[in-house]
Amino acid sequence: MKYILKPFSTLYDYITSIRNQNYDNGRSRVVSFTLPIICVGNLSVGGTGKTPFVEFLIQNFSKKYKVGILSRGYGRTTKGPIYADEIATAKTIGDEPMQYHSKYNDVEVVVAEQRVLGMPFFMNSDIIVLDDAFQHRAINRDLNIMLSDFSAPFFNDDVLPLGRLRENRNGASRADIIIFTKVKKALSKEDIQHYVQETHKYAPKANVFFTSIKYGELYPINETSKKGINEKEVYVMTSIAKPEPMLEYIDKQLQREVVRHFKFRDHYSFTEKTIQRIENEIGKNKVVMVSEKDAVKLRPLLRNSSLQFIVLPILPEVLEGQKDQLLALIENALSKEE
């Protein structure tokens, strides 16, 4: 299979490399804005923890700055730039933007396929976070943060379709900060040294950090789900890229028995029929655990369901006592524009 995919990977690499060269050489236009801009993204497709990290930024900087989030709005049914308002749904702005919008009242959220066209929609923001925009180079940014899954680091990966990279490893050179996410074990000095050395082959100036997954308090998706919080037997439903850590946490840390896992593709668009089908299969009043990203899509669909949906929030935890150093680097990039 490797030999079959290699030519396609080479072609994809060539196309993306030419595109990057056009930006590097000034042939493609890059637009600058007065607001400080942070980009959060990755080299690979899906599953590196971008959404939790964007929330990490919101929680750590919203006391000082009015934060705006600019996203493509992947999976929405609409087109063009949209400012998230009181009638926004996951269908109109996408599941991840809807998660930010519903969870943080003081955060402005805008979606636009061409992100440059979305920038004028911000009215009150002091800083802008470009969500999943590492390859979207049409907007100049003050800080590039690249995430990579610790268990599948970019320096061991290949370009699509041979691997999972959206562009070749050299793209990491654009990153100011590279964070290896979802670390599951205690890091040794040898682990850290290896990851830093391999990273600096492609991004010699990047600061390297490590994070693990930290789960928050369970909460009911609505009032009728409250009684399901302490249930020991649960079902799990996900439409996230890599649900395995969530399942492991439910099993080992929460000590709940996962009777069945309903796994849908990332960004899957749930319908009332989906919920009804699952209820028909497992029975009424059963407890179903979901991620926050899935919860924002499910809330409007539950009026006719007896299922009790419990939400498990996720946040990154910076390892090796380096949280303050990471926040200081980000703050320094933001304060340059003040």
Which strand ranges, in their side-by-side order, compose the sheet holding 308-312? 219-220, 308-312, 287-291, 233-238, 257-263
pLDDT exceeds 50 at position 338: no
The DSSP bridge pattern shows strands 308-312 and 219-220 to be antiparallel
- For 141-197, the pLDDT digits (tens) are 999 999 999 999 999 999 999 999 999 999 999 999 999 999 998 999 999 999 999
CB-based contact 216:206 (threshold 8 Å):
no
- For 7-51, the pLDDT digits (tens) are 999 999 999 999 999 999 999 999 999 999 999 999 999 889 999
Please report where in the chains the tokens 């007896």 appear, as a residue: 306
User: Can you spell out the DSSP letters for 254-275?
Assistant: S--EEEEEEE--TT----HHHH
Q: Rounded to whole angstroms, how far apart are CA atoms 170 and 57?
A: 26
CB-based contact 97:109 (threshold 8 Å):
yes
Q: What is the mean pLDDT of the chain?
A: 95
Could you tell me how far CA 314 lies from the centroid of its own chain? 11
Q: List the structure tokens of 282.
A: 């497992």
Could you tell me how far CA 65 lies from the centroid of its own chain? 21
pTM of the model: 0.93
Domains, in order of start, for the chain: 2-65+126-213+318-335 (3.40.50), 217-312 (3.40.50)
Query: Does 55 or 5 have the greater pLDDT score?
Result: 55
Q: Rounded to whole angstroms, how far apart are CA atoms 110 and 118?
A: 6
Confidence category of residue 224, pLDDT binned at 50, 70, 90:
confident
Provide the sign of the torsion angle of the four alpha carbons 92, 222, 50, 336, taken in this order. Answer: positive
CA dihedral 50, 93, 334, 55 (to 10 degrees): -40
- For 264-304, the pLDDT digits (tens) are 998 899 999 999 999 999 999 999 999 999 999 999 999 99
